[in-house]
Amino acid sequence: MAQRQNVLDNLQTVTSLKRKIRELSTLSEIVQAINSSLKPEEILETIMAKAADLIKAEGWSVLLLDYETRELVFKAAAGEAGKKLLGMRLKIGQGVAGWSARHGQSLIVPDVSKDPRFYSGIDAKTKFVTKSILCVPMRSKNKIIGVVEVVNKSDGEPFTNDDLDIFENLVAHVTIALENAAIYRKMEEASLIDDLTKLYNLRYCNQYLDKFLAERKSEFGIVSLIFLDIDFFKLVDDNFGHLVGSETLRRVGERLRRTVRKDDVLVRYGGDEYIVILPNTDKQTATAIAERIRKEISREPFFTFDNQKFSISVTLGVATYPEDAKTRDELIGKADKAMYDGKLSGRDKVVVA
């Protein structure tokens, strides 16, 4: 009898060791995968694809905190209701995930029907039936940035403390990876933004046009470009100083923002020159937008720091792909030349290539 018990104990030990090896192997694969990417979407997709090997569950989701609204937003999800969940929101404190986010604690709910913290509104919207939940908060620099939860273990059994240990380990790695991705994204964005005006810089302009032209080449896409320059800008620097000159450049950027459309791209080309990229816009429409910009820039006076008034005007050139140019540099060059022709013929006008 004792020998039989020893055999059973040994089998349990072997089974447990095999499971642990499988868990560590899968976790290692996940860590390698998430550390090889700096894109949050790819990191979350990796989690979704690999986690099923760790904890057999019917579905699970990643909710990230929206700091402006103080709500949890479903950013990634898998399972029967996965796609329906994306974009849905929970208030902090609402539901099991909201409770976990508010208190910063992991949580196992074996039977949601017996737990008052469970919020049934999500199930009502997705037609999914949640029975049990394992929930782990994501913490970065002592702040909760989101929550990961899995629902309904596939074998019908409740989630265990072993499951919780595995998932807490996984979520810790995921949180670090998402944090690194956020830092990288901020650095990348900073390298594409002009420090003074907060408009895009020439590097971004070139990247955007290269991508747009490559994608539209076979689809007969169209893009127009406005090149504008401040008339007699040197006089602003000479008469009022470089600080006023810099402030004027920033204010011009603000007036451009309130004049263009949502999908138009604003660029500080350099010095007192700006570019407006108008995707999917013909020359006639681009010319009308350029005229609107010209009027907006000169409509109100600018001011020095001691409240002296002065006025400026701009000259603008318009060119369109593929009508006027076949490449990015040619498009910018054609709009620049049209602007220069406007300078030679009197300034404060729109000239079309």
* Residue 206: CATH number of its domain: 3.30.70.270
The DSSP H or E segment spanning 224 is strand 223-230
- Do 135 and 207 belong to one domain? no
Residues sharing a CB contact under 8 Å with residue 143, sequence separation 6 or more, in sequence order? none
Q: What is the pLDDT of residue 80?
A: 74
Residue 334: inside a domain: yes
Structure tokens belonging to residue 264: 């138009």
Residue 11 predicted with pLDDT over 90: no
Which of 190, 216, 232 terminates a domain? The answer is 190
Q: Does residue 312 contact residue 298 with C-beta atoms inside 8 Å?
A: yes
Does any domain span residue 81? yes
Q: State whether 70 and 212 are in the same domain.
A: no
Q: Quick one: 279 and 319 in the same domain? A: yes
Does residue 251 sit in the same domain as residue 185?
Answer: no
Q: For residue 171, what are the domain limits?
A: 2-190
Does residue 197 lie in a domain region?
A: no
DSSP state of 113: G
Sign of CA dihedral 241, 242, 245, 247: negative
Give the active site residues: 272
Judge whether residue 53 has pLDDT over 80: no
Residues facing residue 233 across a β-bridge? none
In a domain, 233, yes or no: yes
My answer on whether 174 and 211 are in the same domain is no
CB 227 within 8 A of CB 269: yes
Shared domain check, 338 and 262: yes
**155 located within any domain:** yes
Report the pLDDT value the prediction gives residue 312, as an integer from 0 to 100.
96
pLDDT 10s digits, 274-301:
999 999 999 999 999 999 999 999 999 9
Count of domains in the chain? Answer: 2
First-last CA distance in the chain: 97
Does the residue 196 lie in any domain? no
Domain end call among 190, 222, 250: 190
pLDDT surpasses 60 at 64:
yes
Q: Find, among 9, 144, 131, 154, the residue nearest to 72 by Cα.
A: 144
Kindly report the pTM of this predicted structure: 0.55
22 and 87 part of one domain: yes
In this structure, are 213 and 345 located in the same domain?
yes
Considering the domain architecture, whether residues 228 and 90 belong to the same structural domain is answered as no
Smallest Cα–Cα separation from 316: which of 263, 260, 261, 247?
260
**149 and 266: one domain?**
no
Please name the helix (run of DSSP H) or strand (run of DSSP E) that holds residue 203, with its range, or none: helix 202-216
Predicted pLDDT of residue 31: 66
Instruction: Write down the pLDDT at residue 281.
Output: 94
- Which of 314, 286, 298 is closest to 229 using CA atoms? 314
Work out the percent of the chain whose per-residue pLDDT is above 70: 82
Q: Which CATH number fits the domain that encloses residue 73?
A: 3.30.450.40
Q: How many CB atoms lie within 10 A of CB 238?
A: 11
- Whether 85 maps to a domain, the answer reads yes
215-268 pLDDT, tens digit per residue, is 876 667 899 999 999 999 999 999 999 999 999 999 999 999 999 999 999 999
Render pLDDT for 122-169 as a digit per residue (tens, 0 to 9). 999 988 999 999 999 998 888 898 998 989 988 888 888 888 888 888
The half-sphere exposure of 77 on its side-chain side, counting CA atoms within 13 A, is 23
Q: Do 165 and 271 fall within a single domain? A: no
- Residue 292: the pLDDT is 97
Final residue belonging to a domain, choices 190, 222, 248:
190
Q: What is the pLDDT of residues 334-347, one digit of tens each?
A: 999 999 999 999 99
Average pLDDT over every residue of 106-114: 94
Mean pLDDT of 203-214: 91
| 99 and 78 assigned to the same domain | yes
Furthest CA-CA distance within the chain = 107
**pLDDT for residue 351:** 95
b vs e for 25-55, b when ≥16 Cβ sit within 10 Å of the residue's Cβ? ebbeebbebbeebbebeebbbbbbebbeebb
Q: What percent of the chain has pLDDT over 90?
A: 56
Residue 138 lies in a domain: yes
pLDDT for position 106: 94
The mean predicted confidence, pLDDT, of the chain is: 86
